């Protein structure tokens, strides 16, 4: 009699990677939203207003 063993692996999300991406996204959002430089302000002005992020 022969016994066959199978290994089943389950892919789990990389929680650390997801957390890093989320925190990086928030940092970029707030850095551009709170920037006082004219170039940053003008480049992201319409997008910030579309997302209801105050910049004035």
pLDDT in tens, 10-27: 656 778 888 889 999 888
27 close to 35: Cβ distance less than 8 angstroms: no
Domain hosting residue 42, numbered range: 17-50
What local confidence, expressed as pLDDT, does residue 12 receive? 64
DSSP 53: -
Determine, yes or no, domain membership for 28.
yes
* 33 close to 41: Cβ distance less than 8 angstroms: no
Question: What's the pTM?
Answer: 0.43
Residues 37 and 46: their CA atoms lie apart, in Å, by: 15
Within-domain flag for 3: no
In a domain, 12, yes or no: no
DSSP structure class, residue 13: -
Q: Are 18 and 40 in contact (CB under 8 A)?
A: no
- DSSP three-state, residue 14: coil
């Amino acid at each position: 009699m022969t016994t066959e063993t199978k290994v089943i692996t389950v892919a789990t999300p990389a929680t650390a990677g997801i957390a890093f991406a989320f925190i990086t996204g928030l940092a970029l959002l707030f850095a551009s939203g709170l920037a006082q430089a004219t170039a940053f302000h003008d480049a992201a002005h319409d997008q910030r207003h579309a997302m209801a992020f105050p910049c004035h």
